[in-house]
């Protein structure tokens, strides 16, 4: 049973992609929708050929014309493979219009064959891309005209040649069930692909938002991405902001080249993030400068965390085999709950400048309104 399901799934997937452009355009989606419709329509209509052959009717035999309609749907796959999707879709909709009008004429409107035409407008939207609106409209109007004719013209009042009313009622029962299954299948497919598109769009939106908030080189947050983190830290209690800058980064670029400098910058970003861990959030603030947000910490605790970061970077790039020694300097600013972000950033920048002027590879900090530092 599992092998059978796998085989059916493979066949379905293969036939659904016949003639489909790999680019996800609206035309490609229309071709894929057409393929699925042709497969299901052929599978659903083949039993009707047998039913019509058994029940019979006047010449030309309804079973034969129904078989021709099934062949027209099967041909749609071939036309799509040849890149003639417009012809395939048009033929796929005109064939049932003619066949169900003919069957209604043979067996009368009481047999309910004309109910299948209610699905034509929905199929127009599935099989034709939006730029083919004229075809959508024309075939929809034609289907409506045929339905009106079925209800108005007397030729559809009774079956030909006094056909047995019992058979007409039997056909009506089959058709009602068939149309309900058809409409349910269309609705189920529409819902499935609608939900799939919603999921895909949600993923794309999430990826776009992540890309907009992430620095592509270091894979850290950028200024836009860190802004809500700062706001949250400010609202939840005392917090600290630390500006971290690589010492003499220009010398590294000059010695190793800008490509190698980018690699160093990305590696240092990962080292900083690893050293900070779950105690804070790291973002690239610009150039070789990083911002670290430390929520719910005292100034002493913040200084200890950033000093640990400084020591980790220094130790990592003091190992044998490292082409250039890399160190960082940092300025830490601490504020109480709701302390203004801009004030903390100015203070952190001032302490960073002071650390640079004091010999680099140093962490200095202060709290808003305080004059002491480490």
The b-or-e profile of 92-131 (16+ CB within 10 A means b, else e) is: bbbbbbebbbbbbbbbbbbbbbbbbbebbbbbbebbbbee
The CATH number of 223-367, from 3.40.50.300, 3.40.390.30, 3.40.920.10, 3.30.70.270, is 3.30.70.270
Q: Are strands 281-286 and 363-367 parallel, antiparallel or unpaired?
A: unpaired
- Classify the C-alpha dihedral 68-73-79-81 as positive or negative: negative
Q: Residue 107: beta bridge partners?
A: none
> Hey, where are the domains in the chain?
2-211, 223-367
d(CA 52, CA 70): 13
| Backbone torsions φ then ψ of 331, nearest 5 degrees | -120, 130
Burial class (CB in 10 A: 0-12, 13-18, 19+), 281: buried
Nearby residues of 86 by Cβ (< 8 Å), 6 or more positions away: 128, 132, 135
Tell me the CB-side half-sphere exposure of residue 173, using CA atoms within 13 A.
7
For the chain, give the number of residues.
374
d(CA 304, CA 307): 5
Nearby residues of 253 by Cβ (< 8 Å), 6 or more positions away: 261
Task: Tell me what pLDDT residue 138 has.
Answer: 94
Which residue, 339, 331, 337, is CA-closest to 362? Answer: 331
Nearby residues of 240 by Cβ (< 8 Å), 6 or more positions away: 293, 294, 297, 299, 302, 332, 333, 334, 335, 344, 365
Task: Tell me what pLDDT residue 8 has.
Answer: 65
Task: Tell me what pLDDT residue 372 has.
Answer: 45
Task: Tell me what pLDDT residue 58 has.
Answer: 60
Note down pLDDT in tens along the chain; length 374 residues: 777 677 667 776 777 777 777 777 888 888 888 888 899 899 889 999 988 888 776 666 889 999 999 999 999 999 998 889 999 999 999 999 999 999 999 899 999 999 999 989 888 988 899 899 999 999 999 999 999 999 999 989 888 776 777 888 888 998 999 889 888 888 887 788 778 888 888 888 888 888 889 998 898 999 999 999 999 999 999 999 999 999 988 777 777 677 778 888 999 999 999 999 999 999 999 889 999 999 999 999 999 999 999 999 998 877 654 456 789 999 999 999 999 999 999 999 999 999 999 999 999 999 986 544 44
d(CA 73, CA 199): 31
d(CA 171, CA 68): 20
Helix 165-212 / helix 85-107 crossing angle, nearest 10 deg? 150
User: Residue 60 corresponds to which tokens in the numbers above?
Assistant: 């030309």
- Alpha helix segments (H runs only) across 17-84: 26-55, 62-81
Q: Are strands 239-246 and 289-295 parallel, antiparallel or unpaired?
A: antiparallel
In angstroms, the Cα distances linking 48 to 1, 64, 138, 166, 264 are 27, 11, 28, 17, 71
If you search the block for the tokens 């009042």, which residue do you land on?
A: 157
**Which strand (E) or helix (H) includes residue 196?**
helix 165-212
Which residue, 84, 24, 277, 56, is CA-closest to 160? Answer: 56
d(CA 57, CA 107): 8
User: Residue 297 corresponds to which tokens in the numbers above?
Assistant: 């910490």
Task: Tell me what pLDDT residue 371 has.
Answer: 47
CB 316, CB 210: distance < 8 Å: no
């Amino acid at each position: 049973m599992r092998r059978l399901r796998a085989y059916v799934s493979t066949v379905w997937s293969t036939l659904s992609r016949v003639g489909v452009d790999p680019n996800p355009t609206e035309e490609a989606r229309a071709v894929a929708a057409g393929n699925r419709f042709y497969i299901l329509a052929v599978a659903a209509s083949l039993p009707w050929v047998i039913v019509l052959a058994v029940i019979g009717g006047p010449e030309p035999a309804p079973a034969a014309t129904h078989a021709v309609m099934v062949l027209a749907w099967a041909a749609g796959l071939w036309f799509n493979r040849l890149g003639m999707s417009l012809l395939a879709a048009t033929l796929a909709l005109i064939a049932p219009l003619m066949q169900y009008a003919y069957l209604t004429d043979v067996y009368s409107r009481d047999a309910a064959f004309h109910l299948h035409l209610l699905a034509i407008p929905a199929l127009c939207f599935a099989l034709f891309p939006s730029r083919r609106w004229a075809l959508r409209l024309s075939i929809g109007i034609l289907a409506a005209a045929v339905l009106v004719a079925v209800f108005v013209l007397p030729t559809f009042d009774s079956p030909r040649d006094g056909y047995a009313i019992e058979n007409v009622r039997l056909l009506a029962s089959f058709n009602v069930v068939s149309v309900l299954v058809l409409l349910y299948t269309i609705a189920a497919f529409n819902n499935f692909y609608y939900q799939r598109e919603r999921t895909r769009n949600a993923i794309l939106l999430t990826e776009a938002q992540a890309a907009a908030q992430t620095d592509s080189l270091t894979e850290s947050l950028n200024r836009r991405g860190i802004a809500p983190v700062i706001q949250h830290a400010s609202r939840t209690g005392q917090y600290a902001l630390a500006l971290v800058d690589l010492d003499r980064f220009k010398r590294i670029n000059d010695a190793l080249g800008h490509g190698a400098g980018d690699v160093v910058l990305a590696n240092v970003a990962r080292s900083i993030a690893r050293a900070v861990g779950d105690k804070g959030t790291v973002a690239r603030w610009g150039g070789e400068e990083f911002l670290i947000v430390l929520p719910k910490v005292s100034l002493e605790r913040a200084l200890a965390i950033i000093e640990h970061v400084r020591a980790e970077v220094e130790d990592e790039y003091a190992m044998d085999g490292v082409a250039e020694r890399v160190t960082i300097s940092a300025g830490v600013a601490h504020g109480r709950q709701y302390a203004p972000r801009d004030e903390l950033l100015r203070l952190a920048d001032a302490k960073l400048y002071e650390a640079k002027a004091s010999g680099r590879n140093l962490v200095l900090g202060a709290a808003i309104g305080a004059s002491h530092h480490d």
